[in-house]
Chains A and B, each alone.
Chain A
Amino acid sequence: MINISTCRFGYEKETILDIESLHIKEGEHIFLHGKSGSAKSTFLNLLCAVLEPTCGDIEVFGTKLSSLSTSVKDRFRADNYGIIFQQFNLLPYLSVEENISLACGFSKSKRATKEEIESLLDALQLSVDLKTPAMKLSVGQQQRVAAARALIGKPKIILADEPTSALDGDTKESFMRVLFNQVEAQNATLIFVSHDKSLASGFNTVYDFAKLNRVFV
């Protein structure tokens, strides 16, 4: 489903990312671990077509990302991806509901009713009023709302960039559990990036990013 072959990225003459090949199958759960500075973020930006490789290509669902125009890329990202960041996922001045339905605002294929949002939050074991402003939530709650926004509309690819790093032990575990359940229930492909190897259990495939990125080999 995702095919990467001899993909390179760099600024001016310095190459910071060089991947020989990577294939990700549909429904697969990938765990990428790597130290900070190993260009994981760059990799995610390339994967969701925010950055373009200097050479080589990334193919998603048979579409070469480099062949798309900027606005089609934006639409492609809106329709097919759900992205969760380390923290500060939400717009603080919007309510929980507004934050979640924001994902549908830029996409034609993602649609969500209030009931769907509620049941998704139930599945993620978060019980807050939909009207609560995001800035009033705890970090753990915010990450679950972010997960809900990534999952809403059933996108095929979920990218998670250290989503648990701001959480403490217990909340971390329960977050991973509900995320996994929901990703499985939606039959989505999960690409999970973290420096914390202890989270790797339960993933189909584990990559060491330092080995994947030939710049560091």
Chain B
Amino acid sequence: MIFNLSYKSILNRKTAFFLSVFSIAVSVVLLLGIERVVKSSKEHFLNTIHETDMIVAASEGSIDILLNLVFHVGDGLKEMNYGSYEEIAKFEEVAWAVPLSLGDSFRGFGVMATNEDFFKHYKYGSGKLLEFKKGGNFGGFYDVILGCNVAKKVGLNLSDKVHLSHADDHHEHKNREFRVSGILKESKTPNDDLVFMQLKTDEAIHIEWQSGYFVDMQIESEKLSHMDIKPRHLSGMLLGLKNHAQILQVEDKINHYKGENLKVVLPAKALSKLFKLMQYFQDVLLFISSAVFITALFTMLSSMYATLNERRREIAILRSLGAGVKIIFTLFAIESFLIVACGIVFGYTILTLLIVFVPSTLSISQIPDMYEIGMLLVMVAISLAASVIPAISSYKQSIQDGLIVKI
């Protein structure tokens, strides 16, 4: 009976009810949405590079190296010698070594110079290689491989001709025409926004660039490809070891490398260090969404308060029929429970629709985890506790009014 009473009473005040439900729903979307985005971005982030034992570069900061070589953001690194790369690659503990060099660009996308080994050894996620959607690995001297976003946004297809730019977009390598030899499948890693070329080609097309200026030496592209110009510098290298247990040994060896000062970065360690830096933003986001929830709670309470006066007669009638404190408190508790429960269901539906229909580079999970369920239960508990406040006011008022409400 009391549920029927509560239900019909709410139906009688449905506008206020739905507004409260809506504000709770918005806070649910924010609270859970932020939680989900943070969680999946963390996974996404930590999965960017996998099974690479170490990254070696000549720069100092490990985060700087990580940002440049794995995320392709940052101001560039101090270059290391190609000779060091060759020597380290020959260490007996080393299974594979991939050189990386950044610098050029293509219509706003970064260009990374490497060799065909990159696509054989660079792994992400739970150990997946980058796969080709079309075409394949480097063949000709002037081949480029495009990340899926580059191909999509610029509208390029296999065998299309492109010109890369030196450093930024203002100086095009006009005399060097490249051919798209491969387009990668989407990996949801920074490689989706990257153009790959061969390190030897990178070196060759830059022999005409001296101190940042183009000096036309009138070398034909065909001839240039046969000149066998050896790379001199690179930004860094990825290393895979034959035995993971030898990481410390190899790290020590590289730290004491005679040729130049090199820095060893352990990807997993550097990634979690970088992620810790972002913890602050997560906390801020969580704080904001909690504040939104509190605001929603106040909206609910104020709408309950706003109707208290018009409910005085309702309460007096119930009291005259013998309804006691318990009934009044139950009525308010049911109402706030319904508001929050409907808000959660509504908010959840919105969130799921958003995740399904709004395209995102993150693969956001659609299934709630225990933490989220716990968070929702806390929301229900807080709102039930909050319903005590208007219930007390209502009861006090009813004692003052007695049975005869004079309004």
Residues of A within 8 A of B (CB): 41-42, 44-45, 48, 50-51, 70-71, 74-79, 81, 83, 85-86, 88-94, 98, 102-103, 105-107, 149, 161
Contact = CB atoms under 8 A, between A and B. Distances in A.
Interface string B1-37: 1101100110110000000000000000000000000
A71 B406 CA distance: 25
5 contacts: A41-B402, A71-B326, A74-B323, A76-B322, A83-B321
B9 to A, nearest CB: 6
A127 B26 CA distance: 48
Given A74-B322, A77-B322, A78-B322, A88 B313 contact: yes
Contacts of B1: 102, 105
B12 A83 contact: no
Contacts of B319: 50, 74
A79 B404 contact: no
A113 B76 CA distance: 86
B317 interface: yes
A90 to B, nearest CB: 8
A45 B403 contact: yes
Contact of B321 (A44, A45, A78): A78
Interface string B308-337: 000001100111111111110000000000
Nearest to B317: A91
B interface, over-half SS: helix
B404 to A, nearest CB: 4
A149 B318 CA distance: 12
Residue from the set B1, B5, B317, B323 with the largest chain A CB neighbour count within 10 Å: B317
A51 B400 CA distance: 9
Contacts of A71: 324-326
A78 B327 CA distance: 13
Interface string B125-146: 0000000000000000000000
Given A42-B402, A88-B313, A75 B9 contact: no
A94 B402 CA distance: 22
B403 A48 contact: yes
A74 B405 CA distance: 18
A194 B2 CA distance: 33
Nearest to B320: A83
A103 B319 CA distance: 11
Contacts of B320: 48, 50, 77, 81, 83, 85
Contacts of B324: 70-71, 74-75, 106
Contacts of B313: 88
Nearest to A42: B402
Interface of B: 1-2, 4-5, 8-9, 11-12, 313-314, 317-327, 399, 402-406
Nearest to A94: B8
Nearest to A135: B12
Contact of B404 (A45, A81, A98): A45
A74 B313 CA distance: 17
Q: Top 6 A-B pairs ranked by shortest CB distance?
A: A78-B322, A74-B324, A106-B322, A45-B402, A93-B12, A41-B404
Contacts of B406: 41
Contacts of B9: 91, 93
B322 A107 contact: yes
Contact of B403 (A50, A78, A106): A50
A92 B12 CA distance: 9
A19 B313 CA distance: 28
A48 B322 CA distance: 10
A89 B321 CA distance: 11
A23 B8 CA distance: 42
Given A78-B321, A83-B320, A93-B8, A161 B326 contact: no
A133 to B, nearest CB: 9
A161 B321 contact: no
Contacts of A83: 320-321, 403
A83 B318 CA distance: 11
A51 B402 CA distance: 7
Nearest to B8: A93
B79 to A, nearest CB: 78
Contacts of A79: 322
Contact of A161 (B325, B399, B404): B404
A50 B323 contact: no
Contacts of B318: 102, 106
Contact of A89 (B5, B317, B326): B317
B90 to A, nearest CB: 86
Contacts of A86: 404
A159 B2 CA distance: 25
Contacts of A74: 319, 322-324
A49 to B, nearest CB: 10
Contacts of A89: 317
Given A45-B403, A48-B403, A51-B402, 18 more contacts: A41-B403, A45-B402, A48-B320, A50-B399, A50-B402, A71-B326, A74-B322, A75-B324, A81-B320, A83-B320, A83-B321, A85-B320, A88-B317, A91-B9, A92-B12, A98-B4, A106-B321, A106-B324
